[in-house]
Structure 1
């Protein structure tokens, strides 16, 4: 019979044994060593039925296929655009993935996306060093005009979005702001009212700070009344 040595949301450190026995399945942030499941990073334990994994507390964004990310145009070359998504390597947005219309290689590419433009895109492939290829073909993938971009820890993004988008829906509804959350920890917020933008930013910062605590949704709803 397997033995769980920790509780849900316990804080653990690398090398700490979480499970003895073969009854549990290792997920992200842990590994199996013989008949034990061991933590390989600092994080909070998450136990879902027989799946044991860690929610990391720190760490840089590691691009993954199918992630939706927010980035800024950092460079333009004859092949397309280099996009800063908060990783050490820029992501590549090629001509064929930039739009559904045909773009001639001789065209002025800055007419489509210029230096400093902010875009929301999807990662379609990555390499071992974290270099990514992007697409902007798909619903919700476009240039983000006006508004503000703030950065949060990418590990906090699931909490800001909430289960089935519940938390982000509350933020949008209560602040009357347009909000787009990238899985790379960049959040775009736009409203005609600067006070509403400030309110949305403050509540996102609150969620980031209080993300590991119980009853967060109720606290957010109370603050936004």
Structure 2
């Protein structure tokens, strides 16, 4: 109605306020805005993601998970036992990237993360890129076949979060090859014969012959 003011992601049409895209409605007083979710990561319990620490609270950390929602990592869900009066920046500081697990998403879209479990850790060095979360299955490949081929060709460590954030660690020139390869997969994910094209691309970029293991 006319009582409300359209803001970010919305517009007025006569006496209605219309959303300009698929999103979550946020009403603050008389102001209505939407947070776009189309194309963005929607967190699910059980996902392993890469997140960035954006704030530190009394009882834990706020994480940017490249979504319309933030996540919370409570002190109780850290890897080690942390004393109540401990300096939390000694564990994870603002700007740090971590591999973490989503353990709960409530109906109000409150997202809880945990560092308990194999492979959960702070990421040191390397570079971070953002890929389209909907293309993650193609970047990883069947049973990890695509990402294994990229790792073997470039000798880089690569971790692909289900939220589309990717960590790459290797020599600077090989890290760049990985970035170019991932961007190519994103562009061409819908075209058949992707594995063969990526193999040829990596062979050209690295000057190495690549053997593909057949995945059933």
Q: Which consecutive unaligned segments of at least 5 residues does structure 1 have?
A: 1-40, 42-57
Match of 1:22? none
Answer whether contact 2:160 2:166 (CA < 8 A) is retained: yes
2:67 is aligned, of 75, 84, 87, to 87
Aligned-pair CA distance for 1:87? 1.6
Answer whether contact 2:60 2:72 (CA < 8 A) is retained: yes
2:56 aligns to what SS in structure 1?
Answer: strand
Aligned-pair CA distance for 1:140? 1.2
Aligned-pair CA distance for 1:88? 2.4
Match of 1:13? none
Task: Please give the residue correspondences for 1:150-161 in structure 2 after superposition, counting only pairs within 5 Å.
Answer: 150-161=129-140
1:120 aligns to what SS in structure 2?
Answer: strand
Match of 2:77? 97
Cα distance between partner residues in 2 of 1:208 and 1:89: 24
Answer whether contact 1:62 1:130 (CA < 8 A) is retained: no
**Superposed CA offset, 1:158-186 (max 9, x none):** 00000000000001110111100001010
**Superposed CA offset, 1:125-149 (max 9, x none):** 0022432101111111100111111
Task: Please give the residue correspondences for 1:88-127 in structure 2 after superposition, counting only pairs within 5 Å.
Answer: 88-99=68-79, 101-127=80-106
Cα distance between partner residues in 2 of 1:95 and 1:84: 17
Match of 2:181? 203
RMSD after superposition? 1.2
Cα distance between partner residues in 2 of 1:96 and 1:118: 19
In the superposition, the TM-score normalised over structure 1's length comes to 0.72
2:122 is aligned, of 138, 143, 167, to 143
Answer whether contact 1:69 1:122 (CA < 8 A) is retained: yes
2:186 aligns to what SS in structure 1?
Answer: helix
**Superposed CA offset, 1:7-58 (max 9, x none):** xxxxxxxxxxxxxxxxxxxxxxxxxxxxxxxxxx9xxxxxxxxxxxxxxxx6
**Superposed CA offset, 1:173-212 (max 9, x none):** 1011110000101001111x11000000000000010001
**Superposed CA offset, 1:68-121 (max 9, x none):** 11010000011101110012221010111111x210121000000011000010
Task: Please give the residue correspondences for 1:48-63 in structure 2 after superposition, counting only pairs within 5 Å.
Answer: 59-63=39-43
2:51 is aligned, of 52, 71, 75, to 71
